[in-house]
Amino acid sequence: MKNALYLIFLTFLAISCSVDEKSNREKFDNKIENVVVESNEKSAEISDCVFDTNTYKFTTEPIRKYNSQLKFQWDGHNAIVPLEAGDTLILSIGGCNHFGYSAIYKTDGEKFKDSTFLVEKAKWLAQTFFNNGFDKNYVKYISDGKFQLDSDNSSKIQKNYFITDTTMQENEIYEGFRFIKEGNRTEIGIYGYIN
């Protein structure tokens, strides 16, 4: 009798395990299908992009070219790069419908008073970290003095400059550069994108 009960118990256990296994297998298969569908939907979205969206690759390459030993971390699509003397670089290159360039250099607040330093550092950012003509063109525009203070959008703690050159290609947008005094830090930013 004990053997019969034991045999019934094992049969019940085997059936319940196979039902659970079948149920778990179906759940797993459904999850895999959902992931594949989501992945295909994302692939379709990405394929609609005009540009390669690998911001990390495009941002990492110029940092490594500048100094292969630099350590940095990511904050979204921005690489945060600690530099010498407590300065910081925030760099982002890439995009989907617009291929953008954004470089921000944070340094000592007292440097906000030194306009030559600020303009030279903006030029250095473009020359060192941009490409596809934005490096050479920004250097040329700045060196030739083809920029102007945007007095409508400037103040004692923020100065915005726009590029005045009229020979730019239609799909290259040079958004100019800006200097901001924020607390005991000065921020130098330069921006552009391909449309």
Statement to judge: residues 122 and 182 lie in one domain? yes
On whether the CB atoms of residues 24 and 65 are closer than 8 A, the answer is no
Q: Where would I find the beta strands (DSSP E) of 43-167?
A: 73-75, 78-82, 88-94, 99-108, 147-149, 158-163
| pLDDT (mean) for 137-158 | 92
Statement to judge: residues 108 and 138 lie in one domain? yes
On whether the CB atoms of residues 169 and 104 are closer than 8 A, the answer is no
Each residue of 11-70: pLDDT tens digit? Answer: 443 444 444 444 444 443 444 334 333 433 444 344 567 666 677 899 999 999 999 999
**Interatomic CA distance for residues 193 and 92, integer angstroms:** 11
Statement to judge: residues 87 and 16 lie in one domain? no
pLDDT of 151: 84
Statement to judge: residues 157 and 83 lie in one domain? yes
Sheet holding 158-163, edge to edge: 73-75, 78-82, 88-94, 99-108, 185-194, 172-182, 158-163, 147-149
On whether the CB atoms of residues 94 and 53 are closer than 8 A, the answer is yes
Statement to judge: residues 81 and 114 lie in one domain? yes
Statement to judge: residues 18 and 82 lie in one domain? no
Closest among 99, 111, 177 to 138, alpha carbons compared: 177
Statement to judge: residues 172 and 87 lie in one domain? yes
**Interatomic CA distance for residues 150 and 121, integer angstroms:** 19
Each residue of 6-27: pLDDT tens digit? Answer: 444 444 434 444 444 444 444 4
Statement to judge: residues 152 and 77 lie in one domain? yes
**39-43, 102-106, 113-117 — which is least confidently predicted?**
39-43
Statement to judge: residues 5 and 95 lie in one domain? no
Closest among 103, 98, 93, 101 to 57, alpha carbons compared: 93
Statement to judge: residues 69 and 42 lie in one domain? no
On whether the CB atoms of residues 138 and 190 are closer than 8 A, the answer is yes
Helix and strand numbers, DSSP H then E, in the chain: 4, 8
Tally of structural domains, the chain:
2
What's the pLDDT band for 171 if we cut at 50, 70, 90?
confident
Statement to judge: residues 175 and 84 lie in one domain? yes
Amino acid at 46: I
Domain with 61, as residue range(s), is: 55-194
